[in-house]
A and B are shown apart, each in its own frame.
Chain A
Amino acid sequence: SQTIHQWPATLVQPVGSPLSLECTVEGTSNPNLYWYRQAAGRGLQLLFYSVGIGQISSEVPQNLSASRPQDRQFILSSKKLLLSDSGFYLCAWSVPNAYEQYFGPGTRLTVT
């Protein structure tokens, strides 16, 4: 069966510090991968998605970037965090050519 992991689960970082969040998927090949951010009491905002290694599409211009160095690994990064980067970050995967998405447990990021 397929499993998706995210780490860390929680993170408190000062403004201006770098960020690296990691997501890995097990049990499937060539998944589509997604990064979302969820602000408190809000829906999900799609940040990035990827249909293959090295293929990243950015949905919202911002202080973040994403990379996919391996087929089942998706990384969200920032060089300098802003207060507005605080939120709940969710990684998800889907089978190519399918709409159902499967989410990881999320990372709670607080920028202080």
Chain B
Amino acid sequence: SQQGEEDPQALSIQEGENATMNCSYKTSINNLQWYRQNSGRGLVHLILIRSNEREKHSGRLRVTLDTSKKSSSLLITASRAADTASYFCATGGQGSNYKLTFGKGTLLTVNP
């Protein structure tokens, strides 16, 4: 079964606008990650946030994590056409199991 659920399923914005995607999950986690997938390609790791962190930044990306609500958000600021892709959250469980569980993704379209 899938742990993470992204919302919205699809998002269309204009270049220069900010894009926010959300992820909810059900069980305790060690960390949460966001990945990007361009059409027909493999996934690219974007950022990892640990369960004891609340916010993390990487370039134009900002990720927040609220473990009390079991949710995370990914903010992409000043979006570009090249940001058009599907974005997935993935949760890593506790313990020595290093498997990830992926959500179904949000398809982001940035219009020039």
Q: B45 touching A100 by the CB < 8 A rule?
A: yes
- Counting CB contacts under 8 A, is A52 at the interface? no
How many residues from B make CB contacts under 8 Å with A? 24
**Known contacts A32-B98, A42-B104, A49-B99; A99 and B92 CB within 8 A of each other:** yes
Roughly how many angstroms separate A89 CA and B102 CA in the complex, as a whole number?
Answer: 15
* Binary interface encoding of chain B residues 31-54 relative to chain A, with 1 for a CB under 8 A from any of its CBs, else 0: 101010000111111001000000
Residues of A within 8 A of B41 (CB): 105-106
What are 26 A-B residue pairs whose CB atoms fall within 8 Å in the complex? A41-B104, A42-B104, A43-B102, A43-B103, A44-B102, A46-B99, A49-B99, A59-B99, A88-B40, A90-B43, A92-B42, A92-B43, A94-B98, A97-B98, A98-B98, A99-B92, A99-B98, A99-B100, A100-B33, A100-B45, A100-B48, A101-B43, A101-B90, A103-B35, A105-B41, A106-B40
Give residues in B with beta carbon < 8 Å to A: 2, 4, 30-31, 33, 35, 40-45, 48, 88, 90, 92, 98-105
